[in-house]
Every structure is written in C-alpha cells, then in structure tokens.
Amino acid sequence: MTDIFEKCKRTHYSNEIGPELAGETVKVTGWVHEIRDLGGIVFVLIRDKNGITQLTAPSKKLSEEMMADVRAARKETIITLTGTVQESAKAPNGVEIIPSNIDVINVSQLPLPLDTTEKVEAEMDTRLDSRFMDLRKHDVSAIFKIKSQMLHTARNYFYDNDFTEITTPKLVASATEGGTELFPITYFEKEAFLGQSPQLYKQMMMATGLDNVFEIGQIFRAEEHDTLRHLNEALSIDAEMSFKSQTDAMNTLEELIKRILSDISTNCQKELSDLDHELDIPTEPFPIVTYEEVIDIVNSRDVEMNYGEDLNRAAEKVLGETMGSYYFITEWPTAIKPFYVMPNSDDAEKSTAFDLMYRDLELSSGAQRIHDYDLLYSQIEAKDLNPDSFEKYLQAFKYGMPPHSGWGMGADRLTMVITGAKNIRETVLFPRDRRRLTP
Amino acid sequence: MTDIFEKCKRTHYSNEIGPELAGETVKVTGWVHEIRDLGGIVFVLIRDKNGITQLTAPSKKLSEEMMADVRAARKETIITLTGTVQESAKAPNGVEIIPSNIDVINVSQLPLPLDTTEKVEAEMDTRLDSRFMDLRKHDVSAIFKIKSQMLHTARNYFYDNDFTEITTPKLVASATEGGTELFPITYFEKEAFLGQSPQLYKQMMMATGLDNVFEIGQIFRAEEHDTLRHLNEALSIDAEMSFKSQTDAMNTLEELIKRILSDISTNCQKELSDLDHELDIPTEPFPIVTYEEVIDIVNSRDVEMNYGEDLNRAAEKVLGETMGSYYFITEWPTAIKPFYVMPNSDDAEKSTAFDLMYRDLELSSGAQRIHDYDLLYSQIEAKDLNPDSFEKYLQAFKYGMPPHSGWGMGADRLTMVITGAKNIRETVLFPRDRRRLTP
C-alpha cells in the first residue's frame, strides 16, 4: 500500500498549470467541484486552494477502466489526478488534463450541506453552520486570505517602526474601563471577567520604558446588540506610544492603513478579483473634521444631533455619505469619551480623542492619554467610577509615567472595508453573537 | 508653554550616543536610574529603552541653577536632558553628557515599590505586583524583546511557507477535546467555556481547502497546578497542514525553531547579553527517541516508568539530562494520546504522535490526525467521550477531509528555553495562575 501522503502529493497547484506545461505530466490534488458527463466526454473540475483545473476524459481515447474511475467521481470528494496537460482555450487557465491515473483520497458523503458551486449564496446562518464547506468557495476564502495579509502587513509596520509585540491577559479581575458589559468567568474560587480591551494593560506598559507596544488579540463584550457591525468576540489591533502626541498617533494609524491597502493591492489581486471588489486607496491625507463640524454636517442633512451626544446610526449614515472613504473626527467632548482621554490643554471641555471612520463605519478610536496621576484619579471619579477598582492601573502612573498616545482598531471591521463585506460575520471564521456559540 | 511632546522629543536613544558624537549637542529622554553626588561633581544615569547614558555635572563648569536642576533629580523621574557629548572611558558607551538644559517630564513618587538598580532580584510576587517597574530592568525587558522577535520570526516562517493566519474563537460551547479542566463563562442565557486549545477549529479548517493554517493565540486551562512550567492562561503557536505527514509536521517544527534561534542570535545580541544567556543553537538534526527507548533510558536511571504511562516529572528530569538540548519523542502509545491522533498504520497500539522536548521541558505536541470519519467516531467513543458533543467538529470529516498533520507549541515555554528563564512567570507580562489574577 502506497503511503497516502505520497499518493496525494501534488506537483502543482491549479493556478500553476498553464499552456506552457502542455505535454507534461502533472499531479493535482483537490476537491471535485463539478462533473459534466456528456456521454462521449466527461469533464471534472478539480478545486484546490488557488484555483480550478479541468480534467477532460474523452471516451474514445481512454480505457474503460479510466472512464469508470472518472465517472465514479462525486462532488467534494478529494482526488489526486495524474495526467497530461493539453491546451484548451475554453478551460480554466487555458488547459485541461487528460487523466492517466486517479486516486480517491477521501470520499464525500452526499447530499452536501451547502452547494459550493452556487451563484446565489445561502443564508448566513446556513453558511456558518457548515462554515468548513462555505469556505471552500473562493469568494469566501478570499476574505480570509486578505485578512491574513492585512495582519501580516500590520505587524510588519509595527516591527519596522520599533514597536514591541505584547500579549496582555484576557482573564481580568474586576477593574475595567467601563462603558460596556463584561462576560463573567468562574476563576477557581474567584470571580473574573473577560477583557473588553487591552487598554489598561497597554497603558501600564508605557510605564515600563518599552516606549512603543502593539497587540493584536481578541476582545470580549457582553453587549446584546444584533447588528451587522458588532460581535461579542472580536479581533482588535492596539498600539500605544510613549512620548508621542495625538497627531503622532493619528499619523501612525493613517500610515498603517495605507501600507495595508498598498500590500493588499499588490499581493491579493486574485482574491480581490474573486470577491469582485475594487480597493479604495486614498492618495491624499485622510480628511479631518471636528466633532462640531460633524454636528453641522449631520444637522444640515436633517438628522438631529446635539452637542454632547455620540453619533447615532442615522448620523453615521449621512456623515458617511458626505465624507466618503476614510476620515478622522477630532475634538470630541471630554464628557463623552473614556476617563483616560487627555482633555485639550486650552479647553478642557474638548479632548484629544479621535475616531477613524470609513464612510459610516467606526474603525478606530484613539487619543493622547492622561499621564498625570492626580488628573487621572479625578477623571475616574468624574465618570462615577471607583478609583479603588483601578488601584493596580493607577499605581503605574505614580512613578514616572511618560506622556503617551494610542489607539485601538477593529480588525474585523477593517476587513469589512477592505473586502467589501456588508456583514461583520463574513469576516470572522467562527463568529460569536447573541445567538451563536457554535461551531 | 512648550508642548510637552516637543519638550521630550529625543534626538538619540542612549545606545546611539558614542564617542563619534563628541562635541555635538544631543537630547535624551529617560528615567533617572541612579544619582551619585560627590560634592564637586554629580553623576546622573539616565535609562531609556536601549541603554543608559551618563549625565556629568562638574560644579566648577556649570551655573548654580544648572547644578540645582541636576541635584533636584529623583530616581525614576522622567527627565529630558540636553547637553554636549564628551568622551569618557569610564562612562557607559564611552561618553558622558554635560548638561545645558534639564526638563522634568513627570516626577516619580518615593519610595519606589521596587529598586530598578538592585542586583539581587526581588521575590517573584513582589515583582509581579509592580510589573511595570520590574520591566524597567533591562534584564527583564530583554525577555519580552526576545519574545517579540520570536513571534515575528514564527509568523514570517509561516507566511514564507504558504500558511494562512487564522483566528479561532476562544468562547466555545461544550464540545472540547478533553483531558483538562475548563473555565466556565456565563454567555447570556447559555453556559460556555474558554477554549483549551484551537485543536478542533484548526482541524475543521483543513476541510476548507486552505491547506496550511497557523494561529498564535491564548489558551485557557483551569488546572490547579502550581509549578514553574504551567499557567492558566498561556500563548500557543498552532500549525495544521493538509496533505502533510507526521514527518512533514516534525520538519516544519524543527525548521521553525532553528529559524527562531538564528534570528534571535542575529538580532538580539544586546538582549542576550543583558540576560547573560548563551543561546543553545543545535546544528545537527534534532535527535529522535521512541517512547520505548525513553522507558529504557528512564529505567536505566533508576526512575520507574512502565509502558502506557506518561512521563512523570522525575522521568522528564533524567531524560532531559541524558538527551540535553532539543529532541523528539515518537511512537507514543495510542492509548495515552488524544482521540484525534492517528494510530500507526502497521501497529495501531502505537501512534503518529510526537512531542518536542528541550531537556526536561515539553515544548510541543503534534501528530498526524485521523481524517477518516468512522475511525474518528470510534476513537472518541474509545476515550469515553460523547460523540454528540463533537457533532459540529465531526461534520467536517464527512465531506472530503484531507489527510493532515499538525502541532501546538507553548510560546511561553519556548521563551523560557530561549531566554534561560527558570520560571514561566518570567516570560509572561501579566501571568495568571491559581493565586494571581492581577494586575
């Protein structure tokens, strides 16, 4: 018995087989995508990670045994095809393969839970229930290949700019930054929570002297929202920088996004084409609008919004239509931003907080942070939070905390923008929401 | 008032100031590390991320105001020093800086919770309680700079070898691989758990056609151990490969480790020197011993171990002494490995499982996995687990699951090996164990 790994070892991925290989013998391994039996000739499309190859079996030229093997192919069964490459203008990549051997690697049961060849996509719930099958569609896997490239570029940007990668705990005691519900955990005899963000930890890291740190990790929020933009478990890209201002932090964020767009444009052409999505790559600096200008824009579009209110959904929508593409909102009222945001030095009612938006979608929030212990303490009290719950965090501000700035960005939301996905569930392999905890 | 960020903007990190800059004006920002006032001359050591610079203040050459500013320096206060570089054989980097201006950026309270200049290190608990201060010591921060490089290299290895980065959920429903205790979470009206490993998810990803995937993420185990090698929240490097054998998986792991060692040797000389640690870089292939050979070795060292038993601590210790450095253990009994491990084709009592060890420390476990639905189902039953709990996982094996292999490696443990740390708590910024949930 031949070793199964020897048996299925491919010589090429399907995208590597073109007319220049005509006459050569190749071995491809993949899933049976489609079978068309026209009687005298049978076509089998074989799908692998990078594309689709056509097996062509003309009964006049092949043995009965070979034709029987070809006709035995079933959808989504894994086969290894050995055969000769032949030019064929109508076939994928301009080639077809005339089989000399077919090995069945693993048989698929039928019927399938999802059709991998369908043009009209199934309901999201059906797709997520059989996510492994859903991901066999190249316009679905393309999203995750792009997301992988996005994370790769993000980390390279950080490494190139002298950031240290950190991993902060997701199991946390009571102290949190507030503003959201947390998931409680039974941690031995204690109660603990899942971290809503690495905010407090990355700020504590500023007191270590490492200067620039980043983390790409999961965050957990027990909010009962049911929207196309929220999940209860999300991936967050977090950066924090000592001795850097709000403007420095905004520049870092803008540079990072532009580098991501550039890399994806260069390296993910096939995936963008599978998605039929054109990347929006701004060449100009991201526009900046102040919070007060936002109110004017929103009000001028007949949506109510008063000073001191956050943007509601209607406001986001008309603002997004007006601004298009990427833009910053600055000079947020201190009162509606978290306690750790530094107020402006000339007008403490306004703050150094900024949001990065793409059309109507909030991608990132950041700010210069408060580095003065007394001010931080009083801001915690001003938000009706209990400074005692922040004891360990506050301690880091007593012994030489640098002025610092930073931001956090939703990686899944950025993936939505880059891939054109309308539902955040499209951008997460196994999303978690109010109703879904499996697979 | 000058903007604080302008005020503290350094021209150089301390390691960038050498005798070649003699006579030039530089600006350094950092924490006051040590002050020595000899009356006629005052020395202040200023510490930043990359090293230490000496401020030298001879009272004969400086104004009274400047001498007063120098003498006002307090340990761990952040200052920005502007001054002229002067050669000085005895000072760090062979230079000292004669001050022309000192700005105090943020004052430190005294006394300090930890002494950053001490030679004898404080108790681990004291250090972890004030981790931000502990990390100011260069022999502590060195561990995390090396860990950051390790993760960077690991990801580059995966990207270069055509792996797609994935993020799998940490919030999971009941189905788990068994073998450990889980932390329960209240997930709205349901009960959920924190994932003990991405094992089941990365295997499901093999059914998507993405072929090679990796994840670097946190895992959670509610075990009540209290050792120097276990934490309840740990970082795991996971790889899974379709159409790849046990040998392929072992080669991948060995290549990855050798590339990490090579990159760290090249890029982290200062950190290794701060740690006073010499990197162990094997040039030969990692030795392989079978489980049965391990029993012989252990028994020959007068430690009891019978066939079918896992290695106890005493066995690990004598085995580590015998083997030294990195080595694989193969041909584990199927009975003591998880249900998803493929038994050997010629002798189902033995399996394709392998462990990678460094001396007495287990770094990684891997195997060829079972890809046949019926065999997997029966192995779940054989382990007294309930196949119904694995419904979503098992579904992925029904419709064309490729043969595949993979492994998971403890990133914190690998950091221990690479940095010479004896306690895993040294390698995690904010460790979580039975007793510790803060900071």
pLDDT of residue A228: 96
Residue A189 Cα distances to A228, A313, B194, B435, B437, angstroms? 37, 42, 17, 10, 11
Give the residue among A257, A230, A276 at the shortest CA–CA distance from A358: A257
Burial class (CB in 10 A: 0-12, 13-18, 19+), B178: middle
Question: Which A residues in the span 341-370 are in contact with B, Cβ-Cβ below 8 Å?
Answer: 345
Give the residue among B215, B278, B261, B262 at the shortest CA–CA distance from B409: B215
Tell me if B53 sits within 8 A of B95, measured CB to CB. yes
Does residue B121 register a pLDDT over 80?
A: no
Q: Hey, of B9, B117, B132, which one would you mutate to test binding to chain A, going by the most A CBs within 10 A of its CB?
A: B132
Q: How would residue A1 be classed by pLDDT, with cut points 50, 70 and 90?
A: very low
At A335-393, the pLDDT tens digits run 999 999 999 999 999 999 999 999 999 999 999 999 999 999 999 999 999 999 899 99
Does residue B119 register a pLDDT over 70?
A: no
Q: Report the 10 Å Cβ neighbour count for B36.
A: 10
Instruction: Calculate the average pLDDT of chain B.
Output: 96
Average pLDDT over residues B89-110: 96
Relative orientation angle of helices A246-267 and A411-419, to the nearest 10 degrees: 50
Q: Report the 10 Å Cβ neighbour count for A44.
A: 24
Contacts of A172 in chain B (CB under 8 A): 437
At A66-102, the pLDDT tens digits run 999 999 999 999 999 999 999 999 999 999 999 999 9
Concatenated DSSP letters of B260-300: HHHHHHHH-HHHHHHHT-------SPPPEEEHHHHHHHHHH
Backbone angles phi, psi at A395, to 5 degrees: -55, -35
Does B244 contact A at CB distance below 8 Å? yes
At B202-218, the pLDDT tens digits run 999 999 999 999 999 99
pLDDT of residue B189: 86
Residue A313 Cα distances to B56, B99, B333, angstroms? 59, 55, 59
Contacts of B1 in chain A (CB under 8 A): 345
Closest-CA distance of chain B to residue A305, Å: 32
pLDDT of residue A328: 98
Average pLDDT over residues B408-412: 98
Tell me if A37 sits within 8 A of A71, measured CB to CB. yes
pLDDT of residue A119: 67
Q: Which helix (H) or strand (E) holds A226?
A: none
Take residue B254 and report the two structure tokens written for it.
């060995």
At A280-327, the pLDDT tens digits run 999 999 999 999 999 999 999 999 999 999 999 999 999 999 999 999
* A218/B217 CB distance under 8 A: yes
pLDDT of residue B78: 98
Contacts of A8 in chain B (CB under 8 A): 243, 402-403
pLDDT of residue A2: 61
Does A159 contact B at CB distance below 8 Å? yes
Take residue B257 and report the two structure tokens written for it.
């480790």
d(CA A328, CA B243): 46
What amino acid is encoded at B363 in this protein? L
Average pLDDT over residues B222-244: 96
Does residue B143 register a pLDDT over 60?
A: yes
Contacts of A105 in chain B (CB under 8 A): 402-403
What amino acid is encoded at A44 in this protein? V
Tell me if A350 sits within 8 A of A247, measured CB to CB. no
Domains and CATH numbers, chain B: 2-104 (2.40.50.140), 131-424 (3.30.930.10)
pLDDT of residue A89: 94
According to DSSP, the residues that pair with B309 across neighbouring strands are none
Backbone angles phi, psi at A221, to 5 degrees: -135, 125
d(CA A343, CA B27): 28
At B346-355, the pLDDT tens digits run 999 999 999 9
Asked if residue A223 belongs to a known ligand binding site, the reply is yes
Give the residue among B181, B248, B230 at the shortest CA–CA distance from B402: B248
Q: Return the CA Rg of chain B.
A: 27
Contacts of A401 in chain B (CB under 8 A): 78, 106
Average pLDDT over residues B288-305: 97
Burial class (CB in 10 A: 0-12, 13-18, 19+), B278: exposed
At A256-273, the pLDDT tens digits run 999 999 999 999 999 999
Does A199 contact B at CB distance below 8 Å? no
Whole-complex ipTM? 0.96
Asked if residue B230 belongs to a known ligand binding site, the reply is yes
Contacts of A243 in chain B (CB under 8 A): 5, 8-10, 29
Q: Which of A1, A159, A432 sits opposite B152 (nearest CB)?
A: A159
Question: Which A residues in the span 392-411 are in contact with B, Cβ-Cβ below 8 Å?
Answer: 392-393, 395-396, 398-403
Give the residue among B381, B356, B384 at the shortest CA–CA distance from B370: B381
At A174-202, the pLDDT tens digits run 756 776 789 999 999 888 999 999 999 99
pLDDT of residue B179: 67
Kindly report the pTM of this predicted structure: 0.97
* A439/B141 CB distance under 8 A: no
d(CA A209, CA A332): 29
d(CA B364, CA A211): 32
Check residue A14 and report its DSSP letter: G
Residues 6+ apart with CB under 8 A from A364: A253, A355, A356, A407, A408, A409, A410
Tell me if B433 sits within 8 A of A386, measured CB to CB. no
Does residue B1 register a pLDDT over 50?
A: no
At B149-162, the pLDDT tens digits run 999 999 999 999 99
Give the residue among B268, B48, B326, B248 at the shortest CA–CA distance from B151: B268
Closest-CA distance of chain A to residue B223, Å: 9
Average pLDDT over residues B279-307: 97
Asked if residue B411 belongs to a known ligand binding site, the reply is yes
Question: Which A residues in the span 92-151 are in contact with B, Cβ-Cβ below 8 Å?
Answer: 105-109, 112-113, 129-133, 135-136, 141, 144-145, 147-148, 151
d(CA B78, CA B8): 9
Q: Taking chain B, what is the end-to-end CA distance rounded to the nearest angstrom?
A: 36
Question: Which A residues in the span 168-197 are in contact with B, Cβ-Cβ below 8 Å?
Answer: 168-173, 175, 183-188, 190, 192, 194
**Searching chain A, which residue's CA lies closest to the CA of residue B198?**
A430
What amino acid is encoded at A249 in this protein? A
Q: Hey, of A167, A226, A274, which one would you mutate to test binding to chain B, going by the most B CBs within 10 A of its CB?
A: A167
Does residue A130 register a pLDDT over 70?
A: yes
According to DSSP, the residues that pair with B341 across neighbouring strands are B369
At B354-402, the pLDDT tens digits run 999 999 999 999 999 999 999 999 999 999 999 998 999 999 999 999 9
Does residue B122 register a pLDDT over 90?
A: no
Does A84 contact B at CB distance below 8 Å? no
* B209/A31 CB distance under 8 A: yes
pLDDT of residue A66: 96
Q: Report the 10 Å Cβ neighbour count for A67.
A: 19
